[in-house]
Structure 1
Amino acid sequence: MDPEPALSTGAVARRLGVSPTTLRSWERRYAIGPAHREDGRHRRWTPRDIARLEEMCRLTARGVPPSEAARAALGAAPAARAGGRAAAVVPGGPGALPLGEARPEGRGLARAAVRLDQPAVAELLEAALAEHGLVTTWEEVIAPTLHAVGRKWASAGERYIEVEHLLSWQVSAALHRIRPAPDQARVPPVLLACVPGELHSLPIEALAAALGERGLPVRMFGAALPAGALCDAVRRTGPRAAVLWAHSRTTADRALARSVAGIEWGLRGARGHSALLLAGPGWGPESQGPRTGRLFGLRSGLGVIADLVAGQAPATAAGRAGPAAYGS
């Protein structure tokens, strides 16, 4: 019989949604560690070991103290009792988030969020950003998990709102920790704002971080910017492009979009206009007008904005194609 496959501590942590530090702490405090070490040093976790950890995670998510959860997991892990090869650990149970096909990092992130394990959420986000970069992590890890959380609490009353709040806060914190590159010299800024009444700002926070990584100057105004303040900001900054985010049809304001698209700025005789880019699922096809384009994905949207800043693309060409992973 082939030996059971064994995983590293990092791989198990990503799969279960706990930090490697937590796994080492559990091993030290409660003796719930791997049965095998390579060369006596490197931890290698077998399916039986992972089954015990899965039980530990399930119990602690229900509020069982870690010491009691460890005793139960060591004495009653299904794989250990059965004596056979453990099945692959997958998210399940009534508290699981419906992620479908997703990166393992997304599944681990969902597990940690449901357990309200803030340190693990933060560590998993940092690891994914370091390994895959911002755009891939947003589109293939963060956005699917945020969507799954939203679907879960929408179908379960208010039971999972605390999960969404914790996850959103940690995502925002991780995005704010991304260091921008030095601004490109003499490049007009890009203005980013949510429409009045719109509080879902994470997608434009991701866009702001991604633009900053590329050295494109950003003026970020965040959630629910009043209409008058938005128009004043456009006139004062003279941005190459203004991006307006609307998460829902109830907040998308087509009249405001037309007003912003018509703003002129600069000295008399040398007046300029900003390209207006509408982002988010709230904008319908009828929202697009003169000097107005659409953004449909973070990756494609970055390309559209970079071309606009370089003067290589008209606003009306914005966002003809791209993944619909920009929303959350």
Structure 2
Amino acid sequence: MGATRRPGHARQNDQDPALTTGTVARRLGVAPTTLRSWERRYGIGPADREQGRHRRWTAVDVARVEEMCRLTALGVPPAEAARVALRETETEAAIPAPRAARRGGGREALSLPLGNVRQECRGLARAAVRLDAPAVESQLRLTLGEYGFITGWQEVMAPALHAVGRKWASSGERYVEVEHLLSWHVSSALRRTPGAGAGRDAGASRAAPPVVLACVPGEQHTLPLEALTAVLGERELPTRMFGAALPAEALYEAVRRIGPSAVVLWAHSRNTADRALVHLVADTEWGVRGARTHPAVLVAGPGWSPTAGAYAPGVERLTGLRTAADRIEALLAA
């Protein structure tokens, strides 16, 4: 191993990728305005700048600002964190952790086990752990703009949410606030993005009746169903989204009044997956005597048995966001 060089004296290798400020912001889950503010106030920014060109960040520059993010997340004042990050990026900060951080386990307590994921997922998780709402919102907006709903959900949002959930389960109540903040912003992003047709007739020009989407009674996990609703809206398919824990009687009335092409029932837990409810929906009829019809019933979520047909004749189990959307689109086109 060679000698460690100070960040300020490091030179970019010709093979090292140089990143823009926007790319660094997405990777770290920090708003671009925050990076510019840190550069202006504390000198935390690209070491090499060429006049008349955009600033480019080397790997050492990114490591320096990442260390600043870590220290400020622990409660270190920004000015002090900047001094430490500038002095020594590649070693642990030589300052005592704040009292709250010492009680909570310091750096390890603020990390999430993400595994092999996209950099945007890491940035989203870092921003959520810091409770940096503007950075979370910015990361979600950029993710959906670049990757769309399916990839954005499967490779960025869902892994970050699962990591927070696992950390919460293993750490008592310490990560509840992180999960709530991240869930709220993910839900808002899925419903706010243009093309997400939750609750509207995005496909009013199509002849097919809408799709009803609802969580079964007692089920509060709505985000996967919201992601599916967003994808269907993006494809201009008509939907009626009823959200969490819809009572059985209300679901029956909604199906009877709307006359949907299909009904999607989401259950995250085996405790909420209700066979009787599937029968109720499958047996619901509407239309004139002699030409009455039923909806297609689709179950989704880990709570349902893989052999969905055992619940009622013709019931299908949806797996995966893309395949679920493709199957629903095929049903509406039939």
Q: TM-score range by the shorter chain?
A: 0.7 to 0.9
Work out which of the residue numbers 261, 275, 279 in structure 2 matches 1:254.
275
The answer to whether the aligner puts 1:42 opposite 2:68 as a matched pair is no
Work out which of the residue numbers 275, 281, 298 in structure 1 matches 2:321.
298
Q: CA deviation at 1:257?
A: 1.1
Q: Could you say what secondary structure the match of 1:307 adopts?
A: helix
Once the two structures are superposed, the pairs formed by residues 303-318 of structure 1 within 5 Å of their partners are 303-311=326-334
- Aligned CA RMSD, in angstroms, stands at 2.0
Once the two structures are superposed, the pairs formed by residues 89-238 of structure 1 within 5 Å of their partners are 93-180=108-195, 182-183=202-203, 184-238=205-259
Q: Could you say what secondary structure the match of 1:191 adopts?
A: strand
Once the two structures are superposed, the pairs formed by residues 24-35 of structure 1 within 5 Å of their partners are 24-35=36-47
Which range moved further: 164-173 or 33-42?
33-42
Q: Which residue of structure 1 lines up, in the alignment, with residue 7 of structure 2? A: none
Tell me which amino acid in the other structure corresponds to 2:42: Y
Work out which of the residue numbers 56, 63, 74 in structure 2 matches 1:62.
74
Aligned partners of 2:158 and 2:34: how far apart in 1? 25
Which range moved further: 177-186 or 215-224?
177-186
| Per-residue deviation, residues 140-170 of structure 1 (Å, max 9, x unmatched) | 1111111111111111111111111111111
CA contact (8 A) 1:239 1:274 kept: yes
Which range moved further: 39-48 or 215-224?
39-48
CA contact (8 A) 1:51 1:79 kept: no
CA contact (8 A) 1:193 1:243 kept: yes
| Per-residue deviation, residues 85-109 of structure 1 (Å, max 9, x unmatched) | xxxxxxx844221111111111111
Q: Which runs of 4+ in 1 moved over 4 A?
A: none
Q: Could you say what secondary structure the match of 1:272 adopts?
A: coil
TM-score, normalization by structure 2: 0.85
Aligned partners of 1:268 and 1:291: how far apart in 2? 22
CA contact (8 A) 1:240 1:275 kept: yes
CA contact (8 A) 1:208 1:218 kept: yes
Q: Which residue of structure 2 lines up, in the alignment, with residue 87 of structure 1? A: none
Q: CA deviation at 1:40?
A: 4.3
Work out which of the residue numbers 3, 21, 33 in structure 2 matches 1:21.
33
Tell me which amino acid in the other structure corresponds to 1:208: T
Tell me which amino acid in the other structure corresponds to 1:151: R
Structure 2: runs of 5 or more not aligned: 1-11, 94-106
CA contact (8 A) 1:48 1:80 kept: no
Q: CA deviation at 1:213?
A: 1.0
Tell me which amino acid in the other structure corresponds to 1:139: Q
CA contact (8 A) 1:235 1:266 kept: no
Q: CA deviation at 1:51?
A: 2.0
Which range moved further: 39-48 or 220-229?
39-48
Q: Could you say what secondary structure the match of 1:203 adopts?
A: helix
Which range moved further: 41-50 or 245-254?
41-50
The alignment covers a number of residue pairs equal to 301
Residue 219 to residue 197, structure 1, CA distance change in 2 (3 Å):
same
Structure 1: runs of 5 or more not aligned: 82-91, 312-328
Aligned partners of 1:29 and 1:226: how far apart in 2? 55
Q: CA deviation at 1:185?
A: 2.9
CA contact (8 A) 1:48 1:79 kept: no
| Per-residue deviation, residues 289-320 of structure 1 (Å, max 9, x unmatched) | 21311111110001100011111xxxxxxxxx
| Per-residue deviation, residues 109-166 of structure 1 (Å, max 9, x unmatched) | 1111111111111111111111111111111111111111111111111111111111
Aligned partners of 1:257 and 1:10: how far apart in 2? 48
Q: CA deviation at 1:79?
A: 6.6
Aligned partners of 1:138 and 1:159: how far apart in 2? 25
Aligned partners of 1:139 and 1:38: how far apart in 2? 39
Tell me which amino acid in the other structure corresponds to 1:26: W
Tell me which amino acid in the other structure corresponds to 2:190: L
